[in-house]
Each structure stands twice: as structure tokens, then as C-alpha cells.
Amino acid sequence: MRSDKLEGLDSFIAVADTGGFAAAARRLGMTTSAVSKQVGKLEARLRARLFRRSTRRLSVTEAGHALLAHARRALAEADAGREAVAELGSAPRGLLRLTTPLSFGIMHVAPAISEFLAANPDVRIEMMMDDRLQDLVAGGYDMAIRSATTLKGAGTVVARRLVTTDVVLCASPEYISRRGEPRAPEDLLAHDTMLHTYYPEGNEWMFEGPQGRVSVTLAPRYATNNALALRAVALDGGGILRTSRFIVDEALAARRLVPVLREWRLPPIDLFAVFPDRAYIPLKARAFADFLKARFAGKSFTAKR
């Protein structure tokens, strides 16, 4: 049971996240009236209105926004303290909230979930898949999976490397047959290229190869914020794709896509398990990171050299 000072904060956060009292009640396993009562008591204690209510919509007030991040941190620390005590000599338990990049989450994290849950019956998982950078504290996350480049904007966090993936150029055999194969990075200027809009390098692609370091600035024919959408166009002969190897590994093995500029390398990407910077990392989060690292140890997202 939470102390009086924390009572109602979980209901407040759930309503703010879900946009309604009924949805918050379903998330918390409570009745709608109980959630509404807790939020009402919290507003009375704070002497401030946290939500604007109308028949059509509910929105967070300025006071509510001011409270939200602090409320998340307070509950996270309180939960961490209880979990630290409960975990002494025990197995992982409780709700694990994590965020992953969309494509990696779909292709390589989601397929691992059932095995982890089967081995840890007291753990529940809530996973948000989003390529945008998430604030772990404000979002109430225990863990994220992020690339090394995004860590630069993540503030102070604890990070543990899970796996390394090559970045590759590839295209369909049909595209190569129709347009020819580029022999040097500069040849890409005469080709249809595709770009993930969240890549920090943008349109400038940096290669390492036989002539040293070469930079090419391109005007992609197709750009989007999702790697799976890029892969679909590449498989359909739409152009030359730059992407992480884990996105196209199976297509390369089946020769539905073929490598381009194999003598030239693009910088690889390290993927990390990332935790909010706090003295205590929950056992459930550490256990899931250990599980993923062991699972990925058996995979090769880098080419043999």
C-alpha cells in the first residue's frame, strides 16, 4: 500500500497516459469510480485541478503537466525500493515497461517475449515500439533498447551493449539487372536510393574502403521513418537501400536482396539495453537484458571478414 503522499499518483498517471478514466481503470485493474475518486482526492490535497473534463474529451491542465514527470519519478523510486527488498533471494517479478525501436522490436524482441515470460511467471511486460527517442523517466520505463548514436541525446543513463549490427547497402536482383551495379560510392548519385529519416547521418553517407574514407551526399528517391517500409520497396525493385543488417538478413540469405558496394563499409551500429540513471536497476529489467544478450549471442548481424 502506498503512503498517503503517494496515494492517487498511479491513477493520475494512468488517466494522463490513456486519456480517460475508463481506460485508466482497465489498465490498473480497478473500477472507473475508484480511479475517479483517487484522482479527486489527489486534486483536493493539492488544491489544484489536474484535468479539464468535458462530455467529449479530457485533457491535462498546466498543473497536471507540472506534476506528471515528478509523479512518475516518485512512483518509480518507491517501486524500486519495494522491489529491491522483495528481490532479496527471489525471482524477477512485477510489470516490466520497456521501449524498443519499431523494426527491431517486431523482428527480434517480440519473438523472444513468450520464452522469457515462460521462464519468469511472475513478470508481466508492457512494450512500446517507437523509433523516436523516449524519455525513460517521463515515460515510466524500466528499460529501453537504443543505438549508440541515440545515447548521445539520452541524458544520464546506464547502458549495456546487447549486439552489434552491420549497416549494409542492398537492392533486389531485378533492380541491379535493370539499372546496373554501382562500383564506387560516387556511382550512387546516378541511382535511386532510399533513406531512413531518423538516421543521424541524414543524406550524407560515409564509407570506408579501398580508397580510404569517402563521403557522398545523396537525394533519396524514397525516405520514410520505418525500416520495414523501406525494405518492402527494396524487395519490389524500388532502389538501393541502406539499413541495419538485422532488417534484411533473411532476404540477403534468400537472395531476394543482394549486397551492393561490398568492398566499402558503413559504420556498424551497437544496440544497448538502457536503464534510467538510478542507484537500483530492477531485477526484472536486469533479467530481461541478460536474456536478450544471451539470445543475441547466437545471432550474427555482422558479415564474416
pLDDT in tens, 168-199: 999 999 999 999 999 999 999 999 999 888 77
How many domains is the chain partitioned into structurally? Answer: 3
Query: In this structure, are 158 and 171 located in the same domain?
Result: no
Q: What is the dihedral of CA 167, 171, 176, 178, to 10 degrees?
A: -140
SS3 10: helix
pLDDT band at 305 (very low <50, low <70, confident <90, very high): very low
Residue 281 pLDDT exceeds 70: yes
Taking 60 as the threshold, does the pLDDT of residue 67 lie above it? yes
- 275-295 burial: b if 16+ Cβ within 10 Å, else e: bbebeebbbbbbbbbebbeeb
Three cell numbers, residue 77: 523510486
Q: Domain containing 246: what range?
A: 167-259
Give pLDDT, residue 155: 56
pLDDT digits (tens, 9 = 90+) for 19-49: 999 999 999 999 999 999 999 999 999 999 9
Domain C-terminal end among 85, 100, 116 = 85
- Domain boundary pick from 56, 85, 114: 85
For residue 76, give the CATH number of its domain: 1.10.10.10
**Strand residues in the chain grouped as ranges (E):** 51-53, 58-60, 94-100, 123-129, 143-147, 157-165, 167-171, 193-196, 204-209, 212-217, 222-224, 240-244, 258-259, 269-276
pLDDT at 171: 97
pLDDT category at 279 given cuts 50, 70, 90 is low
CATH of the domain at 274: 3.40.190.10
Compute the distance between CA of residue 274 and CA of residue 279 in angstroms, rounded to an integer: 14
Highest mean pLDDT among 11-25, 134-148, 272-286: 11-25
- Mean pLDDT (the chain) is 86
- The SS3 of residue 217 is strand
Mean pLDDT of 247-264: 93
**Model pTM?**
0.66
Kindly indicate the confidence band of residue 203, based on its pLDDT and cuts at 50, 70 and 90: confident
234 and 182 in a single domain? The answer is: yes
Q: Are residues 276 and 156 in the same domain?
A: yes
158 and 276 inside one domain: yes
Lowest mean pLDDT among 94-98, 149-153, 211-215: 149-153
Residue 1 has pLDDT above 50, yes or no: no
Is 179 part of a structural domain of the chain? yes
Query: CA gyration radius for the chain?
Result: 23
pLDDT score, position 212: 87
Alpha carbon distance, N-terminus to C-terminus of the chain = 57
Co-location of 20 and 96 in the same domain: no
Mean of the pLDDT values across residues 145-153? 71
Residue 73 has what pLDDT? 79
% of the chain surpassing 90 pLDDT: 53
pLDDT band at 300 (very low <50, low <70, confident <90, very high): low
Same structural domain for residues 159 and 283?
Answer: yes
DSSP 100: E
Best CA proximity match to 265, nearest among 191, 201, 186, 206 = 206
What is the pLDDT at residue 149? 66
CA separation for the pair 146, 100 (Å, rounded):
7
Residue 124 phi/psi, 5-degree rounding, is: -115, 150
Is residue 112 in some structural domain?
A: yes
Q: Indicate if 134 and 277 belong to the same structural domain.
A: yes
Evaluate whether residue 4 is within a structural domain.
Answer: no
Q: Are residues 44 and 102 in the same domain?
A: no
pLDDT band at 202 (very low <50, low <70, confident <90, very high): confident
Among 103-107, 134-138, 233-237, whose mean pLDDT is lowest? Answer: 134-138
Same-domain status, 191 and 221:
yes
Query: How far is the CA of 181 from the CAs of 157, 162, 193, 215, 259, in angstroms?
Result: 43, 34, 13, 19, 10
- pLDDT at residue 88 above 60? no
Residue 183: Cβ within 10 Å count: 11
Give the confidence band of 105 by pLDDT, cuts at 50, 70, 90: very high
Assess whether pLDDT exceeds 60 at residue 153: no
Report which listed range, 163-167, 237-241, 269-273, is most confident: 237-241
Domain boundary among 85, 120, 151: 85
Residue 2: per-residue pLDDT: 47
